[in-house]
């Protein structure tokens, strides 16, 4: 990033020392330091903007000095874009937004694998000992789980069924097992398809012992990790699982995005609720009560879908890339803050 500003931020090294800072800490330290040292804002003003105490602001600024983060220019690790991250956080009222640089040749690739690596670092920062971590189906969450190298002791539960029961061992089930292995906690996978032929079959599966046990943890989840899909082939798991007639039906309702088998229009309103009755998945009202819901999604082809899901108020934090971020920062009227967890459609 080219800048003449008088702050530099570094520290996201490949090592695992106690001095290592996570991506959200780095982005927040850069933003607060910029406000204080370059824009002349007081600690009270910064505290009001970020929703923390002035004492927290003082500690962050002190840490920036102690760890040699404040230098001549704003300089985060090459893969993180601090300015876009801060702007995206403010625009959508997110708790954390981490924007990763996208290689030019991969701008149109949905969910570049480096998103999973950064999300793994973010989860290591957000999850505390004793938490319940929920993982929904998605390529990005699978990449994230594969990149995990640190998690405090926690319980890990699967939030959705799988795309194909025959590939469960290589997909979300394995992601849950991997996260539990890293944390040393218990794993609660779900060996069932995400989408069933009808509501009765889905209800019968939910009552099975193993699946019911996982469902019991849904109201205990403290941090969730989800993926977002656009309504087009190869970019939405649900889209690919439906018949042509069903796709046309939901398209006629204005579907713009899906997350954890729930459909949303461009304004973030949930539509096609009948589909949810056929799915093995966490409910939207349960997602809304989870303190931290991290979405991992990027690429130009997913940008509009990301915007739609963020407008739903279900997501509190986002890991994305510059390709999607550039769209999100200019996408229509600014949405309502997600931190309020507003329920625009009574979900």
pLDDT band at 345 (very low <50, low <70, confident <90, very high): low
pLDDT band at 342 (very low <50, low <70, confident <90, very high): low
- Whole-prediction pTM value? 0.76
pLDDT band at 2 (very low <50, low <70, confident <90, very high): very low
Residue 30 is predicted with a pLDDT of 85
Q: What residues does 100 pair with on adjacent strands? A: 80, 321
Provide the token pair at 268. Answer: 């973030």
Residue 137 is predicted with a pLDDT of 85
Q: What is the mean pLDDT of residues 279-285?
A: 94
Residue 169 is predicted with a pLDDT of 45
pLDDT band at 341 (very low <50, low <70, confident <90, very high): low
Query: In whole angstroms, what is the distance from residue 47 CA to residue 107 CA?
Result: 35
Report whether pLDDT(119) > 90.
Answer: yes
Q: Look at 134-138, 242-246, 289-293, 306-310 and tell me which has the smallest mean pLDDT.
A: 242-246
CA distances (Å), origin 193, targets 163, 196, 225: 6, 7, 19
Report whether pLDDT(78) > 70.
Answer: no
Residue 164 is predicted with a pLDDT of 58
Report whether pLDDT(44) > 80.
Answer: yes
pLDDT band at 347 (very low <50, low <70, confident <90, very high): very low
Report whether pLDDT(176) > 90.
Answer: yes
Q: What percent of the chain stands above pLDDT 90?
A: 52
Which one has a higher pLDDT value, 342 or 61? 61
Which one has a higher pLDDT value, 231 or 310? 310
Report whether pLDDT(287) > 50.
Answer: yes
Report whether pLDDT(339) > 70.
Answer: no
Report whether pLDDT(221) > 90.
Answer: yes
One DSSP character per residue, 198-262 reads SHHHHHHHHTSHHHHHHHTTGGG-SEEEEE-EESSTTT-HHHHHS-HHHHHHHHHTT--EEETTE
The answer to whether 35 and 45 are in contact (CB under 8 A) is yes
Report whether pLDDT(12) > 80.
Answer: no
How many CA within 13 A on the CB side of residue 156? 27
Residue 52 is predicted with a pLDDT of 93
Report whether pLDDT(297) > 80.
Answer: yes
Q: Look at 5-19, 69-83, 162-176, 300-314 and tell me which has the smallest mean pLDDT.
A: 5-19
Residue 188 is predicted with a pLDDT of 95
Residue showing tokens 């954890």: 260
State the Cα angle at 91 between 102 and 3, rounded to 5°: 55
């Amino acid at each position: 990033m080219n800048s003449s500003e008088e702050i530099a931020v570094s520290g996201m090294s490949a090592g695992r020392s106690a001095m290592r800072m996570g991506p959200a800490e780095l982005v927040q330290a850069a933003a607060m330091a910029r406000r204080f040292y370059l824009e002349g804002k007081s600690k009270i003003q910064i505290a009001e903007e970020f929703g923390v105490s002035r004492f927290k602001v003082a500690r962050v600024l002190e840490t920036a000095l102690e760890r040699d983060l404040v230098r001549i220019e704003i300089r985060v690790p090459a893969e993180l874009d601090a300015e876009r991250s801060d702007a995206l956080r403010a625009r959508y009222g997110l708790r954390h937004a981490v924007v990763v640089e996208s290689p030019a040749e991969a701008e149109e690739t949905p969910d570049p694998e480096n998103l999973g690596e950064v999300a793994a670092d973010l989860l290591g920062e957000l999850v505390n000992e004793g938490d319940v971590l929920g993982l929904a189906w998605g390529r990005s969450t699978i990449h994230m789980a594969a990149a995990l190298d640190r998690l405090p002791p926690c319980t890990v539960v699967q939030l959705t069924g799988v795309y194909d029961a025959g590939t469960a061992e290589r997909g979300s089930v394995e992601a849950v097992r991997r996260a539990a292995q890293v944390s040393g906690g218990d794993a609660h996978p779900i060996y069932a398809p995400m989408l069933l032929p009808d509501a009765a079959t889905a209800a019968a599966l939910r009552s099975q012992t193993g699946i019911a046990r996982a469902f019991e943890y849904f109201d205990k989840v403290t941090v969730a990790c989800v993926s977002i899909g656009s309504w087009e082939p190869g970019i939405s798991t649900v889209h690919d699982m439906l018949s042509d007639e069903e796709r046309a039906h939901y398209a006629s309702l204005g579907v713009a995005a899906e997350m954890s088998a729930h459909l949303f229009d461009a304004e973030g309103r949930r539509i096609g609720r009948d589909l949810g009755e056929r799915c093995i998945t966490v409910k939207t009202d349960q997602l809304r009560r989870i303190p931290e819901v991290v979405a991992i999604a990027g690429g130009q082809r997913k940008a509009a879908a990301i915007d739609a899901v963020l407008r739903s108020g279900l997501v509190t934090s986002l890991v994305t890339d510059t390709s999607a971020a550039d769209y999100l920062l200019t996408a229509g009227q600014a949405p309502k803050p997600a931190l309020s967890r507003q329920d625009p459609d009574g979900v």
